[in-house]
């Protein structure tokens, strides 16, 4: 291979490795999430047990919006 092709190959490999290293960064994050239910009729708040979620499961849990059934609204709270 010529010197120029080798340099281009090394540059492409470097860019790929740099991209791959940062692409998985969000998949390693973990948080504890719990369900919080609030009854709007009397203001009662009920907390579920915290559970640890990481990666894609955490992203899916955080994407779930509040759900209301009757006067009770339930939402995931993650810290």
Q: Is 13 helix (H, G, I), strand (E, B) or coil?
A: helix
List the chain pLDDT tens, one digit each, 79 residues: 577 777 777 666 666 665 655 555 556 789 999 999 999 999 999 999 999 999 889 999 999 999 999 999 999 999 9
The CA distance from 56 to 44, in Å, is: 32
In this structure, what DSSP letter does residue 32 have?
A: E
7 Rama class: left (phi>0) / alpha (psi -120 to 50) / beta: alpha
pTM of the full structure = 0.63
**How many of the other CB atoms lie within 10 Å of CB of 78?**
15
Helical segments of the chain, H only: 3-23, 55-63
């Amino acid at each position: 291979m010529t010197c120029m092709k080798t340099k281009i190959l090394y540059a492409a490999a470097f860019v790929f490795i740099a991209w791959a290293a940062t692409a998985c960064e969000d998949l390693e994050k973990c948080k504890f999430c719990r369900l919080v239910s609030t009854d709007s009729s009397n203001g009662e708040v009920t907390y579920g047990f915290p559970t640890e979620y990481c990666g894609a499961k955490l992203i899916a849990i955080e994407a779930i919006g509040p759900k209301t059934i009757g006067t009770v609204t339930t939402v995931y709270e993650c810290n």
